[in-house]
Amino acid sequence: MKRIPLCEPDISALEINYVTRAVKNREISSGASWVKKFEKTFAQKFGVKYAVSTNSGGSALFLALKALGIKEGDEVIVPTFTMFATAAAVTNCGAKPVFVDCKKNNPNIDPAKIAGKITKRTKAILIAHLYGIPCEMEEIMGTAKKHSLPVIEDVAEAHGAKMNGKLCGTFGKISCFSFYASKTMTSGEGGMIITNEKKLAEIANRLKQYDINPKKPYIHELVSWNMRMSGLEAALGLAQLERMLELIEKRNRVSKNYEKSLKLKGIEFFQVPKNVGTSNWLFTILTKKRDALSEFLLKNGVETKKVFVPMHKLKPYLQKGNFKNAEDLSVRGISLPSATLLGKKDQDYVVSKIKEFYASE
Ligand SMILES: Cc1ncc(COP(=O)(O)O)c(C=O)c1O
């Protein structure tokens, strides 16, 4: 039977070349020059001063919060509709995530609802650009400025997306990326922190590698972790970074095709704010028949993924509150196969199966 995966990494000869060179030259640990090169190129591409690689996007978020000094007793504003790692990073610092709803039919945090959640314990605003759609950064930065709070951007799902021509990840004080295999560019596992503040980059760097100081061997001053990226991952990541525009274009082509072909009664798309350059991650539709559609597609060999369960519905964070937009999205959202490698024929097959489903309903 036909099998169309949700998302598979797009590995070209360039990635194979870089990784092979790393292995052949035994440049495999975090000490490899590939890591420094990946960080330097990443910082250049994003036009920032510092880039610190990590072993995952979750680690990047955790280290960014630690670098900002987030600790027990603090509160951090977080979207309730996001991937678990965003909220868990706050909890892992001993602080409390304070959840904010998203907008109607838009996965991102509702900027108008942030101010009402700020207390005297609030120490930061952590936002996530989800499914390749940028958050409304002007409003968010305005609120942050008014309350003198740093903004952390979670850019795991929006590599290369732009708001008013400015890249996501370059608005806040510090930003974090994930390079997990489903992401637009991947290093297998891995993450990156970017910032223009030397002090933040320095602390994140010390915390991610047991605060090892080559000038003072075995004198560790900060309680710290091993959250380093390996040379192999960096070699893979660097090749993907060099192909980033191509990878974004391919994903956007997939999403444009879906948008054109799925103008059906009963299907809605995420609403995208004005002046954005999206960088589609997983193309997602909203439908009341989500669960039945997902089952039907699976029976026909098409892998899909239901969207996030909001944080306030999960065991570690269970709470009541007005999060109606997130709750609505979480029962209607379903992501379709979105790999850059998805061929036109396969995408047409997915579309035809969705049309067949709606015709039989
Ligand atoms: C929005 C968001 N934040 C953080 C993460 C965590 O990244 P990682 O899986 O690399 O730890 C992910 C991805 O999985 C994500 O989608």
Q: What pLDDT is stored for residue 211 in this prediction?
A: 98
CATH number (domain holding residue 79):
3.40.640.10
Is 94 a domain residue?
Answer: yes
Q: How many CA atoms lie within 13 A of 163 on its CB side?
A: 21
* Tokens read off for 78: 């977080």
Q: What's the whole-number mean pLDDT along residues 62-86?
A: 98
DSSP state of 98: E
**Tens-digit pLDDT profile for residues 164-205:** 999 999 999 999 999 999 999 999 999 999 999 999 999 999
**pLDDT value at residue 287:** 98
State mean pLDDT over 145-169.
Answer: 98
Residues 91 and 111 in one domain: yes
Q: Say if residue 195 is in the same domain as residue 261.
A: no
Residues 295 and 340 in one domain: yes
Tell whether 234 and 301 lie within a shared domain. no
Same domain, 157 and 304: no
- Tell me the average pLDDT across 299-313: 98
pLDDT for the residue 1: 80
Q: What are 233-284's pLDDT values in tens digits?
A: 999 999 999 999 999 999 999 999 999 999 999 999 999 999 999 999 999 9
Out of 174, 208, 242, a domain closes at 242
The phi, psi pair for 278, rounded to 5°, reads -80, 160
Listed as own residue / partner, the contacts of 201-205 with beta carbons closer than 8 Å and 24 or more positions apart are 201/49, 201/50, 201/51, 201/52, 201/67, 203/66, 203/67, 204/52, 204/63, 204/64, 204/66, 204/67, 205/52
The answer on pLDDT for 361 being more than 90 is no
pLDDT at 195: 99
Q: Which two tokens stand for residue 109?
A: 């945090």
Same domain membership, residue 109 and residue 250: no
Query: Treating both helix axes as pointing N-terminal to C-terminal, what angle do 57-67 and 84-92 enclose, rounded to 10 degrees?
Result: 40
266 part of a folded domain: yes
pLDDT at 181: 97
Answer yes or no: is 3 within a domain.
Answer: no
Residues 228 and 290 in one domain: no
CA atoms of 81 and 88, how far apart (whole Å): 13
Residue nearest to atom 10 of ligand 1 (CA): 57
Contact 77, 117 (CB under 8 A): yes
Mean pLDDT for the stretch of residues 28-55? 98
Instruction: Quote the pTM value.
Output: 0.98
Note whether 230 and 299 are same-domain residues: no
Question: What spacing in Å lies between the alpha carbon of 357 and ligand 1's midpoint?
Answer: 32
Tell me, yes or no, whether 4 lies in a domain.
no
Mutate to test the pocket of ligand 1, among 54, 59, 65, 83 (most ligand atoms within 8 A of CB): 83
Asked if residue 250 and residue 238 are part of one domain, the reply reads no
Rg (CA), the chain: 21
- What are the tens digits of pLDDT across the range 319-350? 999 999 999 999 999 999 999 999 999 999 99
CA of 130 to the centre of ligand 1 (A): 10
Span 317-326, pLDDT tens digits:
999 999 999 9
**Is residue 146 located within the same domain as residue 289?**
no
End-to-end, the C-alpha distance of the chain in Å comes to: 24
Q: What is the 352 CA–ligand 1 centroid distance (Å)?
A: 31
Q: Which two tokens stand for residue 214?
A: 């080559």
Per-residue pLDDT at 67 exceeds 90: yes
| pLDDT higher than 90, residue 36 | yes
Indicate the Cα dihedral angle 142, 144, 146, 148, nearest 10°: -150
Of 242, 271, 298, the domain-final residue: 242
Residue 2 lies in a domain: no
Ligand 1: which atom is nearest the Cα of residue 189? 10
Helix (H) or strand (E) holding 291: helix 290-299
Number of domains in the chain: 2
Residue nearest to atom 7 of ligand 1 (CA): 57
Both 163 and 150 in a single domain? Answer: yes
Residue 260 shares a structural domain with residue 352: yes
- What pLDDT score was predicted for residue 192? 99
Segment 209-230 mean pLDDT: 97
In this structure, is residue 253 part of a structural domain?
Answer: yes
Each residue's pLDDT tens digit, 83-118: 999 999 999 999 999 999 999 999 999 999 999 999
Give the CATH number of the domain where residue 277 resides.
3.90.1150.10
b/e map of 214-228 (b: 16 or more CB within 10 Å)?
eeeeeeeeeebbebb
Ligand 1 closest atom vs CA 190: 10
Contact 228, 30 (CB under 8 A): yes
323 contacts: CB under 8 Å, gap ≥ 6: 80, 81, 99, 101, 310, 312
Q: Which residue's entry shows tokens 């955790």?
A: 62
Containing structural domain, residue 302: 245-360
Q: Does 225 fall in a domain?
A: yes
Boundary residue ending a domain (242, 263, 284): 242
pLDDT tens, residue by residue, 120-144: 999 999 999 999 999 999 999 999 9
Is residue 6 included in any domain, yes or no? Answer: no
